[in-house]
Chains A and B, each alone.
Chain A
Amino acid sequence: MRVTEGMRYSQVLANLANITSQHAEASQQASTGIRVGKPSDDPIAAAELARLSASSSQTKAHLSTIDTVRGDAELTESTLSDASDIFSRLKEIALQGANGELSADDRKTLGVEVDGLKDALLKLGNTRGTRGYLFSGSAVTTAAFDAAGAFQGNDTAHTVQIGNSTPTAVSTSGAEAFVVAGGRDVFADLQALSTALAANDLTNIRASIDNVSASQTQLINARARSGLVLSKLDASESVLTSLDSEQQKRAQTTGAADPYESYTRVTALGQSLERAIAVSRQILDLGGNNRF
């Protein structure tokens, strides 16, 4: 084949441009650690990364939701625990009041304590969390109970999505915890005890013992349900954290450059570039006129 000056120069230019371009690309991969920097670098991986990014964002959003609702769930659980403690004391008072040796004044004094506990229970029933009143259902801006202990909220559960499964209820029903929807109206039982103590009505005081016990059981059950919500949140958080970690690992595997491979490639291409420059110099020297 007849070789001309133009062919020599074109060949040198094409070779150098090709190796320089490959070297630049490999250097970028090695220095950034990113193999897929734009969709055309690896279309399938880019599509996968876009989907993984969306999945990861969703996972993080679910984790954030768990963080947000956990505060109220924990507050609900501790509030119901406190309410249950109140009923432990009420049971003691009822047993004490049922003692036939107690005077009417002693029972009246116990009645005053019961009234105080009723106020405390009302306050617990109207506890506010970050979302509003904890036990009002979706009527979060309305106090769950009025001064008489009548329920003013609703039974709509607060649901959130903490995974790709069905929505999860994260609230505890105030109606089921405190009023007849759960079997007993705890405020009414408490009021009955207070009234019986004030009236020195031994029969009703004794009758209240079982009712107070039943009310406490109702509160304990509600607390257990709220504990289950917390457990569910913890379990979901654990699953989502693992999922997030797995998604990040997959994104890393899909889009990141293997450091050893990329460094090796840069080194090999660097050597190729040096060789290409040396060969180019020789080719260009051949084109000189010093032979004639």
Chain B
Amino acid sequence: MLALVGYYEPWWIQIIKGIVIFAVALQLVPVVLIAERKLLGRMQGRYGPNRVGPYGALQPLADILKLLTKEQSRPATSVGFLFAVAPLISILTAVAAFAIIPFGDTQDIFGTKVGLYGIDVSIGPLYLFAFGAVAFYGIMLGGWSSGSKYSFLGAMRGAAQLISYEVSQGLALVGVIITAQTLSLTGIVHAQGGMWYIIPQFFGFLVFLVASFAETNRAPFDLIEADAELVGGYNTEFGGGRFASYYFAEYLNVLVVSGIVTTIFLGGWLLPFGIHPPGWVDPIVVLFKMSLITFLFIWVRATLPRLRYDQLMSFGWKVLLPLATLNTLVTAILVVATH
């Protein structure tokens, strides 16, 4: 794998990168949290939180402090070990997936070549789906080990929903991979020099986006949490720090998906019209594009009501999957025909 990267990163750079990724993730999540609450408020004709700190900016801090100082409790029917481990799985996989998002090209920092990403894996999207698949266990084990029927129902819904939508999500990316002829995420970004993939792969983009809403359990596909009928779904019985972990993982997943959409469809750190800014602008460009996608997530949450379960399933299998397959087929034929 090192040979494929094309340069060698000393071990201490890897450690620094790991710390930086965790720190960035920890800083970004509260920002998304407050942004979501503020925007939801505005979209509903109200202010959102505006009491803690200037313009309510310290609200997430207050929330996190409140959650972390709460007592850890679990139901008598729960399975203790899994109950404690499940939120960790969620948070760990979310952060691990965050590691592959490229925030910029390889930079020269004090004479060392550093890629502005955790790792540039040569299997890019597969890494993402692998950790996405492990992330299901966080939800499923959490729901099942709670020993409560609401949690259990939420977990079962989650299992069915995540598996159905992962198929379309994966297939939607195949078109891009065929076009870019690489699985490396930085490679995919470099391949978008001429045109961002959102234009030739528009249907792939749409399918991937919709499937990502389902994969991150966001509205309108938040049947796993479904407050109205399942109390809180898989996280009903969780409180305090464990609940905070689930919450953190959910928002981090939104960020990861935004980052992946940015990288794969919106040209990563590239700017349109052939503008080539200096290297330090790259992360800002990526963060800006990510915030646009995150805004879309929040916007959709404020707009669309939750789907019924059969609607969710028929939409996933009868609409998204054929669309994704068709997109892949047409792309493959076009690529073969033009080469």
Q: Are A and B genuine complex partners?
A: no
Interface residues of A (CB under 8 A from B): none
Interface residues of B (CB under 8 A from A): none
